[in-house]
Structure 1
Amino acid sequence: MAITTILTDIEGTTSAVSFVYDVLFPFARERLPAYVRAHAQQPEVAAQLAAVRQASGEPDADVERVIQILLGWLAEDRKATPLKALQGRVWAEGYQAGTLKGHVYPDAVAALRQWHAAGYRLYVYSSGSVQAQQLIFGYSEAGDLTPLFSGYFDTTSGGKREPASYTAIATAINVPAGQVLFLSDVVEELNAAQQAGMATCGLARAGGELQGHLTVGGFYAIEPRLFQTE
């Protein structure tokens, strides 16, 4: 099958891992407690706090305890959906205020624009919330890149190392898995996508190889039309 659709990871793929760990995470860690205290009664935030209580097995935890749990998860880099959702809200304030600018590699910007112009459908699949994904691309150093994308997927679609997640995404976008090219810097994610029937390409910007997958150093080396699946 010919490739019609490109599904891309963010961290280490379109964007520097250091941006997430050295900029976004410290920003959230510093501002998350005050944000939760100020907005705990809002329905959307209250729902996430309830999810934290359920996930932690502490149904009676007060707001201060929930904040402690969230900060613990943040320190562990736990891929918890309520944490990601609340981080996204904190980051939104920073992006909208101009304090934060999303990092996207220039070669990724150029390729995404080229692929979009060529008619490929572009999607994102990241462990960060959909809101966080839209913020990185919407407030990027290269301007608003969100018009390039047809949709976004996060951990609500399943774990990134589970083949079923990629099958679910292909079903959601109504595209055969064999027509999708998945880009990532993590071999376990590439393996899962491959097992679901997708074509794969690994990004190793510092060099090296993601075993079992074509590996390139940047988006400039990716030519979607050359990928084929059975």
Structure 2
Amino acid sequence: MEGVQHILLDIEGTICPISFVKETLFPYAIEALPHVLATKWDNPTFQPYRDAFPEDVRASPEKLRAHVEDLTKRDIKVAYLKNLQGYLWEDGYRSSAYSTPLFPDVALQLRKWKANGVEIAIYSSGSVFAQKLLFQHVQVVGQHASPGATGPGAQVEDMTGLVSGWFDTTNAGLKTEAASYSTIVEALKWPLATTLFLSDSVREIDAATEAGLNAILVDRPGNAPVSEADNHRLGLVHSLNELYITGASH
């Protein structure tokens, strides 16, 4: 795509499998929560996360736990839950309980874009803190490492240096609202005409398009099926390798 110099990326289902979030990160947070509630309920480091929940929910550890489990089961994308999940996931990343499995095309393509002068930013419903954790612990796949490798022997790399901006529903707004995308490009000072948004969500693609951004739907294994109508009316790719981004002129 000629003229594209700025790329705004979704995470789940776009550059990272949905299964990693649903089958690894969500269960880890649920499993870790009881110990945190029992040992850190009044800890100053935990209080901001606790106090962000509705007053009736934080009346007791038991009520907060039940509320978190309910929201997680229904995959409700509310900011106070996403912030707490990021807090809970940190220990898992740092202990190598898991690392981030990007789709095979992603890491190399992001490096190519960056080398060609393309600026990259992230916009996800997960908190900015969680986004950075995810990018700090990317699985290294190669001769001595395999996809899905976890534990102390897993090799990881920090890819946060490729990203120029981080946005979530707290600092940008809901991903299904056009105003959120306007907020992002204004904050980054990115021209609409040179900005491309990539996501697995049709509603997000429509919102970005309404805001004036270029937008393309990414269809990955494990994603929700794309209707025939949406397939025809939207630009659609199955890999970042299908995008020819020329980047900034040199």
- TM score, norm. by length of structure 2: 0.83
Work out whether residues 184 and 202 of structure 1, in 8 Å CA contact, stay in contact via their aligned partners in 2. Answer: yes
Work out whether residues 216 and 237 of structure 2, in 8 Å CA contact, stay in contact via their aligned partners in 1. Answer: yes
| Residue equivalent to 1:170 | 185
| Residue equivalent to 1:181 | 196
Work out whether residues 53 and 66 of structure 1, in 8 Å CA contact, stay in contact via their aligned partners in 2. Answer: no
Q: Where does structure 2 lack aligned partners over 5 or more consecutive residues?
A: 141-156
Distance in 1 between residues matched to 2:18 and 2:57, nearest whole Å: 34
Distance in 2 between residues matched to 1:184 and 1:96, nearest whole Å: 28
- Which shows bigger deviation, 88-97 or 203-212? 203-212
User: 1:176–1:40: structure 2 CA closer, same or farther, 3 Å change rule?
Assistant: farther
Give the C-alpha shift of residue 59 in structure 1.
6.8
Q: Deviations over 1:196-217 (max 9, x none)?
A: 1100111112485644321011
Give the C-alpha shift of residue 4 in structure 1.
1.6
Work out whether residues 57 and 63 of structure 2, in 8 Å CA contact, stay in contact via their aligned partners in 1. Answer: no
Q: How many residues align?
A: 223
More helix by share: 1
RMSD over aligned Cα atoms: 1.9
Q: In the alignment, which of 62, 80, 83 is matched to residue 81 of structure 2? A: 83
Distance in 1 between residues matched to 2:8 and 2:192, nearest whole Å: 11
Distance in 2 between residues matched to 1:77 and 1:205, nearest whole Å: 19
Give the C-alpha shift of residue 21 in structure 1.
0.7
Counterpart of 1:49 in structure 2: which amino acid? R
| Residue equivalent to 1:216 | 237
Counterpart of 2:209 in structure 1: which amino acid? Q
Give the C-alpha shift of residue 177 in structure 1.
2.5
Counterpart of 2:241 in structure 1: which amino acid? Y
- Aligned identity (percent) is 36
Task: Between the two structures, name the one with larger relative contact order (CA 8 Å, sep ≥ 6).
Answer: 2
Give the C-alpha shift of residue 60 in structure 1.
6.4
